[in-house]
């Protein structure tokens, strides 16, 4: 989503996008205004798919002769570096979080070979610094958010909070939220938790709900469209996603666009006091930051917002105001201004 919003918003450039093919891509591309080339590569090839996409990127650049290459993921950094060197154009590298922990040497290479590197948060910069590069190597520009056409709340029969995330990464905190449910239920007996999203962790979470005796208060929506996700955000009192830091050298939440999406609907959030959430959520102003490993702390913050309507409304209003300052047109404009300024200075050696 980030790459698409940037590409559509940076109208000061003639833009050409290269990416993988995907189900429904032809219809998606036909409905937009971007020039998009899709590369077919069997997902079963694994990392070899990235080599195919790198080769296609170099081929496309030779034809297109770009002034600027915006590399949206470090797996394409080899192609971006080669294009920059061969054609003398400038390059920009985007960084998030997880990919830096997974491939620290490639992340360092990507930053060194780019004229400008953009990270989503201070946490992203911290991760890059761990590779040995100076913090000043990466500029922070947060992601943007799509402002809803209708953010007005919808009625809901029960006090409800929602989590929006694929059930794939354990660090997202669904397990801690599940352990917090009995505690929340003690204070808010009619509480409902709606889990928007699907993935391989669903079965495990359903078993947790049964063993904890809260399955009647937990709803799994399964795969949900953007419209369905937005309807749940409109119905819920708050969004909760206390993403923690994974074990080992892996990275957690780079930012958390869903926190901004909830704010755009006027909903407060409960998030973690670590990683990218420190940039995405203003503690005590747009949401509450808690220890993401502590079910008691998580339950306390959620219960407080469910029971204190004035507090929830105040934080929600502030979240909506902040979302307006971080709308995608504003963010894509900031990135465009940065890239155009970089072009004026010329590519570095």
Task: Confirm if 302 and 284 have CB atoms less than 8 A apart.
Answer: no
Tens-place pLDDT, residues 64-116 = 999 999 999 999 999 999 999 999 999 999 999 999 999 999 999 999 999 99
Q: What's the CA gap between 18 and 16, in Å, rounded? A: 7
Question: pTM of the predicted model, to two decimals?
Answer: 0.93
Structural domains in the chain, CATH included, are: 2-144+327-345 (3.40.50.2000), 160-325 (3.40.50.2000)
Q: What's the CA gap between 280 and 323, in Å, rounded? A: 10
Q: What pLDDT, on a 0 to 100 scale, did the predictor assign at position 314?
A: 98
Residue 272: its H or E element? strand 269-272
Q: What pLDDT, on a 0 to 100 scale, did the predictor assign at position 169?
A: 93
* 34 phi-psi bin (left φ>0, alpha ψ -120 to 50, beta other): beta
Task: Confirm if 225 and 254 have CB atoms less than 8 A apart.
Answer: no
Q: What share of the chain has pLDDT > 70, as a percent?
A: 99
Tens-place pLDDT, residues 146-177 = 999 999 999 999 999 999 999 999 999 999 99
Average pLDDT of the residues in 125-152? 96
Q: What pLDDT, on a 0 to 100 scale, did the predictor assign at position 43?
A: 84
Tens-place pLDDT, residues 34-72 = 999 999 988 888 889 999 999 999 999 999 999 999 999
Q: What's the CA gap between 339 and 341, in Å, rounded? A: 5
Q: What pLDDT, on a 0 to 100 scale, did the predictor assign at position 347?
A: 46
Is the predicted pLDDT of residue 348 greater than 70, yes or no?
no
Task: Confirm if 201 and 174 have CB atoms less than 8 A apart.
Answer: yes
Q: What pLDDT, on a 0 to 100 scale, did the predictor assign at position 349?
A: 41
Average pLDDT of the residues in 287-311? 98
């Amino acid at each position: 989503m980030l790459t698409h919003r940037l590409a559509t918003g940076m109208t000061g450039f003639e833009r050409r996008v290269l990416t993988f093919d995907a189900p429904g891509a032809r219809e998606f591309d036909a409905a937009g205004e971007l020039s998009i080339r899709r590369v077919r590569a069997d997902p079963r090839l694994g990392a070899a798919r990235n080599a195919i996409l790198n080769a296609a990127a170099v081929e496309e650049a030779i034809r297109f002769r770009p002034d600027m290459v915006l590399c949206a993921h470090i797996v394409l950094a080899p192609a971006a570096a080669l294009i920059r060197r061969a054609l003398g154009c400038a390059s920009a590298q985007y960084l998030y979080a997880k990919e830096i922990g997974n491939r620290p040497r490639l992340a360092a290479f990507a930053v060194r070979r780019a004229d400008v590197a953009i990270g989503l948060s201070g946490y992203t910069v911290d991760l890059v610094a761990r590779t040995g590069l100076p913090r000043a190597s990466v500029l922070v520009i947060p992601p943007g958010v799509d402002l809803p056409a209708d953010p007005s709340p919808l009625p809901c029969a029960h006090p409800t909070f929602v989590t929006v995330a694929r059930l794939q990464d354990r660090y997202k905190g669904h397990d801690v939220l599940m352990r917090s449910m009995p505690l929340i239920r003690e204070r808010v007996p009619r509480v409902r938790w709606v889990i928007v999203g699907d993935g391989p962790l669903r079965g495990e979470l359903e078993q947790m709900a049964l063993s904890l005796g809260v399955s009647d208060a937990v709803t799994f929506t399964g795969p949900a469209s953007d419209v369905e996700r937005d309807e749940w955000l409109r119905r819920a009192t708050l969004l909760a996603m206390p993403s923690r830091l994974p074990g080992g050298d892996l990275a957690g939440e780079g930012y958390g666009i869903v926190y901004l999406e909830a704010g755009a609907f006027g909903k407060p959030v409960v998030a973690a006091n670590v990683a990218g959430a420190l940039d995405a959520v203003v503690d005590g102003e747009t949401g509450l930051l808690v220890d993401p490993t502590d079910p008691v702390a998580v339950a306390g913050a959620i219960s407080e917002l469910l029971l204190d309507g004035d507090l929830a409304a105040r934080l929600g209003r502030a979240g909506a105001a902040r979302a307006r300052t971080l709308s995608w047109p504003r963010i894509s404009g900031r990135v465009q201004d940065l890239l155009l300024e970089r072009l004026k200075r010329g590519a570095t050696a």
